[in-house]
Amino acid sequence: MKRLIIMFLCCGMISAFGSDAVKASQWGFHAENATECLQKAIDSGAPKILVDNMGKDWIVDKIRLRSDLELTFADGVTVRALPGAFHGLNDSLFEATDCKNISLKGNGKVRLVMNKKDYQDIKRYKPSEWRNTLCFRGCENVLVSGLSLESSGGDGIYIGTSSRMRGCRNVVIEQVTASDHHRQGISVISVDGLKIRHSKFSNTAGTPPMAGIDFEPNKPDEWITGCEISDCEFENNAVGILLYLNLLTAQTKPLSVTFRNCRLTGNRINMMLSASGTTPVKGNVVFENCRMDSAKSNSVILSNLQEDAMKVLFKNCLIDNGNTGASTVTVSTNLLPDIAGIAFENSKIITGGSRPLEFQSLSGAGVTGIQGSLNIQEKNGKESKFDFRKFMLANKPDEAIKNFKVATVDLKQLVPGGKGKKEAKSKFFRKKFKILQYVESGKPVKLDFTVRKIYKNPINITVDVKDSNGTPVDQFKITKPSQSYILKKNSGSEVMLLEVNTGLHAVALASGQPGQAILADTRTGMFYASGARFYFMVPAGAADIRLEVAPDLGEPVGAELLDPSGRSMASFSKSDSIRQLVYKRGNTAETEIWSVRFPYVHEDMRFRVGAPLLPLVSTAPENILIPRDTAPMIRDK
């Protein structure tokens, strides 16, 4: 009976409207909450539905789409997210999973609006970056046209996977504007066949990456193929176009992405591409007849490209960075393979007086494969051909950095080596770092942590506690700006290991203790750490002192190596590439305490200590850890 009633209503509406589209309002309209009305219209099975202009907004909660649906919005319609709803972390305004043949079309001025500021209020909502306007998972044959997507708590459009399908297929987006979204204008996780035409993605602000469009697969078996983006604008985002391809490998289906006749303007970075550090995906990314201008920083950043992997081509492009002093195109790598696979064809760079192309190596790798035809226009209007051969000769591989070695540390052999104790608070560490702390039986040690909160993400920092054998003994969370933890040993005395992962935030160790060190055997990250100083032991018989210091991309760092008297023995200032502090002691008879200081850290940097020295650094000489068999007399002054 219910099916007959629905068929009767549908037939009546088709006759009444002189069209094969039924009006959504036939299922009712409630100005305060029209969710049930619109969902019933979609669930009716009618192939074509018109969301008609009722003179008021369609205020709705989550709407589920289905296969074989043409949903048209009449001129002047605004669909607005229901205030106070969307508390689920993945709640989207319109969502489709494993559906086929979906069309969402605006007939005139049509707005789909969410309540971004509400979702960003952590007193009202749990933080999330997935409250999207349109969400398609594992869908085929999708058309989105003529819509203005505004102020979501995630992405304007999300194109991704489902449990049944590793992405979407045959998606067309045209004459769409996506503005003021929390994470991206559009996220493309996995797609085979994507066409975006005559659309604009702007003003993304909330949580990183904050891109206009972000191609970012989550797994190697996902796809970025058959993608064509033409006649589109990307304006005033943190990144205009982002291709974060780090999880794609040589086993992934070769990618193919073309941007044609697009404009990128006023973004912090206009275009950014990053590839895998293991076996990178093959394929092609092409920018043709594109204009990139008015970036607030570098206009283009290309990271980790290498030989026998993807190729990036700029054809008939203009990259104008004349408004800033930043380098126009930055090529960087933190991998050992050298940079390759970049080409320019009949393109032009306009500089603001800085370098048109720069290379930043965070690994010792060089540039061996960049070529083409590229003109450079200086600030004074003078134009010349860019010399790629000269650029590659100036950025050859550095084998000394590539072959940097680190000594192995046996935690069971470490004991306190300083005299007394000093409450020397550290600067802030970021990402993963390791604390060593000597604990005597029956003498608990209190460690105080201070958190510097980055962005609006809640503090939820995991710390794994292990014994000197590496066996897990505890795990705790740092959830407050200031928090303490007590290390205890009921029997025996040993060094305990604390592995900290700060995520986006930064953590300082606020309490110095005897027998305390940072294990700097891997690149240990620091954040805004200007003035930081660490002490380390140089044992008798050791001549070579070697430390590695690596800035983050575009964030220069300065460092100096100090002898026991505090005299500078090696230094560099504001380097934007990886560097080493190297010194060879003439007198190796004594065990000494040396130190490294960082006079300038723009933002993020990482460091580690090279062999033959043990990679142990402390915030004060009184607190150092040393091997049991080290000479008892340590010269530190």
Residue-wise pLDDT tens digits, 92-143: 999 999 999 999 999 999 999 999 999 999 899 999 999 999 999 999 999 9
What pLDDT is stored for residue 381 in this prediction?
Answer: 85
15 pLDDT higher than 60: no
Q: What is the mean pLDDT of residues 479-508?
A: 92
Q: Which distant-in-sequence residues (6+ apart) come within 8 Å of 8 by Cβ?
A: none
Q: Rounded distance, CA 242 to CA 422, Å? A: 46
CA dihedral sign of residues 493, 494, 500, 506: positive
Q: What is the mean pLDDT of residues 405-430?
A: 86
Strand partners, 626: 415
What pLDDT is stored for residue 525 in this prediction?
Answer: 94
Nearest to 210 by CA among 244, 188, 181: 181
pTM of the model: 0.83
What pLDDT is stored for residue 450 in this prediction?
Answer: 95
Q: Rounded distance, CA 499 to CA 434, Å? A: 5
What pLDDT is stored for residue 163 in this prediction?
Answer: 94
**20 or 122, which is more confident:** 122
What pLDDT is stored for residue 455 in this prediction?
Answer: 76
Lowest average pLDDT, out of 199-208, 418-427, 520-529, 598-607, goes to: 418-427
User: Could you give phi then psi for residue 235, rounded to 5 degrees?
Assistant: -135, 135
Lowest average pLDDT, out of 147-161, 257-271, 353-367, goes to: 353-367
Instruction: Copy the structure tokens of residue 241.
Output: 């176009």
Grade residue 424 by pLDDT with cuts at 50, 70 and 90: confident
The helix (H) or strand (E) run that includes residue 16 is helix 2-17
For 226-281, write each residue's pLDDT tens digit. Answer: 999 999 999 999 999 999 999 999 999 999 999 999 999 999 999 999 998 777 89
Q: What is the mean pLDDT of residues 173-190?
A: 98
Lowest average pLDDT, out of 249-258, 467-476, 507-516, 557-566, goes to: 507-516
Percent of the chain with pLDDT over 90: 81
**3 or 586, which is more confident:** 586
Q: What is the mean pLDDT of residues 340-361?
A: 92
Strand partners, 345: 315
SS (H, E, C) 257-290: EEEECCEEECCCEEEEEEECCCCECCEEEEEECC
CA atoms within 13 A on the CB side of 389: 0
Lowest average pLDDT, out of 68-77, 146-155, 586-595, goes to: 586-595
DSSP state at residue 37: H
What pLDDT is stored for residue 165 in this prediction?
Answer: 95
Domains of the chain: 95-397 (2.160.20.10), 411-627 (no CATH)
Q: Rounded distance, CA 185 to CA 538, Å? A: 53
Nearest to 435 by CA among 444, 422, 448: 448
CA angle, 79 then 80 then 83, to 5°? 155
8 pLDDT higher than 50: no
Q: Rounded distance, CA 519 to CA 535, Å? A: 12
Strands 168-174 and 191-197: parallel
Grade residue 510 by pLDDT with cuts at 50, 70 and 90: confident
385 pLDDT higher than 50: yes
Grade residue 522 by pLDDT with cuts at 50, 70 and 90: very high
577 pLDDT higher than 90: no
For 40-91, write each residue's pLDDT tens digit. Answer: 999 999 999 999 999 999 999 999 999 999 999 999 999 999 999 999 999 9
Count Cβ atoms below 10 Å from residue 567 Cβ, excluding itself. Answer: 9
What pLDDT is stored for residue 557 in this prediction?
Answer: 95
Nearest to 111 by CA among 133, 141, 139, 135: 133
Q: What is the mean pLDDT of residues 345-350?
A: 97
**335 or 490, which is more confident:** 335
Lowest average pLDDT, out of 96-110, 162-176, 316-330, goes to: 316-330
Q: Rounded distance, CA 559 to CA 531, Å? A: 10
Q: Rounded distance, CA 525 to CA 428, Å? A: 9
For 386-399, write each residue's pLDDT tens digit. Answer: 999 999 999 999 98
What pLDDT is stored for residue 452 in this prediction?
Answer: 94
Region of 433 (left: φ > 0; alpha: ψ -120 to 50; beta: rest) is beta
- The mean of the pLDDT values for the chain is 92
Q: What is the mean pLDDT of residues 323-343?
A: 89
